[in-house]
Amino acid sequence: MSNVLETPIEFLKGVGPQRGALLRSELEIHKYGDLLQLFPNRHIDRTRYYKINELVNSNAEVQVVGRIIHIKTVQMGKTKSRLVATFIDDTGEMELVWFQGHKWIRESLKLNTTYVVFGKINQYGATFSMAHPEMELLEEHKASLRSAMQPVYPSTEKLANKGISNRAVVKMMQQLFIETGTNFGETLPAYLLDELKLIPKNEALFNIHFPKSQDLLLKAQFRLKFEELFFIQLQLITKNLVRKHKIKGMPFTQVGETFNTFYTQHLPFPLTNAQKRVIKEIRNDLGSNAQMNRLLQGDVGSGKTIVALMSILLAKDNGYQSCLMAPTEILAIQHYNGIMELAKNSNLNIQLLTGSTKTADRKIIHEQLEEGQVDVLIGTHALLEDKVKFANLGLAVIDEQHKFGVEQRSKLWKKNDIPPHVLVMTATPIPRTLAMSLYGDLDISVIDELPAGRKPIQTVHRYDNNRLKVWKFLKDEIAKGRQVYIVYPLIQESEKMDYKDLMDGYESISRDFPLPQYALSIVHGKMKPADKEAEMKRFIEGKTQIMVATTVIEVGVNVPNASVMVIESAERFGLSQLHQLRGRVGRGAEQSYCILMTGHKLSQESKTRLETMCATNDGFEIAEVDLKLRGPGDIMGTQQSGVLNLQIADLVKDKDILQLARSYAIRLLKSDPAMEQPQHQTLKQIFFELSRKKNIWNYIS
């Protein structure tokens, strides 16, 4: 059967070379199998036939059975006219209207013959009308393969302009089923079909295109969504298991003096239960013989750094070096300062290596690193240079990993004969459903509570005409010795405009907060790195009270004394970005505030974003709303686009099916890791075919 599905699409009756070329370029349909996988976006319910006296002016699509008793042409101005047919059934009459193609439509219409007409209903006065209806003779309608639920397929403007309408695609699909005889091989083992009450593959494919009823359509959708997500999860979990079996890690068998002394004597604050749980998960990984590959998610300020440090102490106890890599110099310096402070009593040799490290210092670090004298190297991309050689790198901690490409990370692996354990940290909460699909081959830990004593940030939305009150509030906070961020959006397409916004804003803030009482810092993308660092430094040291900036401060700057974040034109930011920016404040013991400033004109989506920000501080809740608003592709940014071009499943709507598919995939691979059992042979074959194709998993981590 599969051979038929390999047939080039132009050989399908009714397609031909020209249409074939269009289907290839517009919808990537190259062969019969691709057309079969073009699933409908929605279905129009044609199970009901309306009587004319039941029609209401709802702009809904309905079908009516009746006959044409009269046709006329009505002039509309000097040049235009419309064709109007009077259509009746036994309860009343309505009009069918055409604005184009009068000549051939008039020739094709038969008077006093029973038709089924389908289209949108409009009402003019007391008369109902249907413009450009789909029409079929009742006899043909009864005989056609088309089901009562009519599919509506994805299309493009070009296809519509070239005459490949939805009706044309439906005809192609009917022809496909006639030629292939709906004889498609089963892909899932029988026990799965039984346990989950899944309908067979044949029935599912037929009923996704031509469902006999609403119930069968739902069963077909469930079956095909489950299958798609099941194969993806099989792939990801296999990758994880293969890594654990094949890639030997260095077992950290000791929980030694460095770790224990720190834990019992030098912890600056009690760990939260979430931190304890995550450290335990990491200890289990490091103690096994497999390489750790763990993603640590924790909201801004949840205490990921201390978890990273305690993992580093375990490496030290077992005689290994560690490195911590951050995407920017500011963030690397901050990690360095934070870890130096935490580990000041721990007898660790910690070094910092960034683009700004002086050549002489660099040389010393390189030598000490190779001799094994450096325990922890913290830095930026500079860690990846060939000159940087470790004596025995045992643990690599990567912060905000989506900022690093795959090649960059693989360079770290090569720093050692045995790949180091990897802990990836992110403050961008990834909804669980997305994490299971994007990072399904990593083990995931979540820190889902904030340290004690942290007060939740109060978030409010204010319109521009309240600015005087907002400025008064800022002055009061500064009078208490606090500092303030004021952030402007930066959207690349219109940098000139954004730069102007920022500079205008800076000038008006300078007037409202004059020297010598107030000092301002400014940071934006057009500044030289050294100038940016200097301005940041002034703010961090408390020499300026207000930092006016674009989103360059989004990741990682830690100024515990800053208690207010003002976000200008907040409607122009995405939810996750707003949440990241808000996380720059609330790092000290004082009450912190986030003020979202906007104009009065707001789209519905902007309102939802602002309401969500004011309602919750929970990054995971925010990420879920963001996923609903933006869809999975956008959330991961461009470097991951194309990751999730799923054919039928939807990660937002189908997260329950995803979890079900994942649990069944785990169960199968636990009982039969190599898929050797007779009932898994077909599954194994399809699994390998999918692995060979450039599909979703090639993009993943």
The residue that leads in pLDDT, 640 or 423, is 423
Q: Considering only 106-115, 282-291, 408-417, 640-649, which range has the smallest mean pLDDT?
A: 640-649
Taking the model in full, what pTM does it have?
0.65
pLDDT for 29-40, tens place per residue?
999 999 999 999
The arithmetic mean of pLDDT across residues 22-27, rounded, is 94
Phi/psi at 469 (5° precision): -65, -40
Residue 407: the pLDDT is 63
| Average pLDDT over the chain, rounded to an integer | 86
Helix H or strand E encompassing 502: helix 495-512
Q: Where in the chain is the domain with CATH 3.40.50.300?
A: 257-447, 458-616
The total number of residues shown for the chain amounts to: 701
Percent of the chain with pLDDT over 70: 90
Residue 411: the pLDDT is 77
Whole-angstrom Cα distance, residue 284 to residue 494? 50
CB 369 within 8 A of CB 375: no
Domain 458-616 coded CATH 3.90.1640.10: no
Residue 460: the pLDDT is 97
Task: Select from 2.40.50.140, 1.10.3230.20, 1.10.760.10, 2.60.120.260 the CATH code of 47-146.
Answer: 2.40.50.140
Whole-angstrom Cα distance, residue 41 to residue 62? 19
Q: Considering only 46-60, 370-384, 431-445, 470-484, which range has the smallest mean pLDDT?
A: 431-445
Taking 50 as the threshold, does the pLDDT of residue 636 lie above it? Answer: no
Cβ neighbours of residue 235 closer than 8 Å, sequence gap 6 or more = 687, 690, 691, 696, 697
pLDDT class for 448, splitting at 50, 70, 90? confident
pLDDT class for 559, splitting at 50, 70, 90? confident
Residue 402: the pLDDT is 58
Superfamily of the domain at 257-447: P-loop containing nucleotide triphosphate hydrolases (3.40.50.300)
Residue 230: the pLDDT is 94
Q: Considering only 227-231, 295-299, 340-344, which range has the smallest mean pLDDT?
A: 295-299
Taking 70 as the threshold, does the pLDDT of residue 657 lie above it? Answer: yes
Residue 632: the pLDDT is 60
Residue 643: the pLDDT is 43
pLDDT class for 698, splitting at 50, 70, 90? very low
pLDDT for 133-177, tens place per residue?
989 999 888 877 555 678 889 988 888 888 898 989 999 999 999
Across 472-476, 522-526, 680-684, the highest mean pLDDT is recorded for 472-476
Residue 428's nearest CA partner among 320, 577, 558 is 577
Q: Where in the chain is the domain with CATH 2.40.50.140?
A: 47-146
Distance (Å) of CA 660 to CA 233, 291, 312: 10, 27, 36
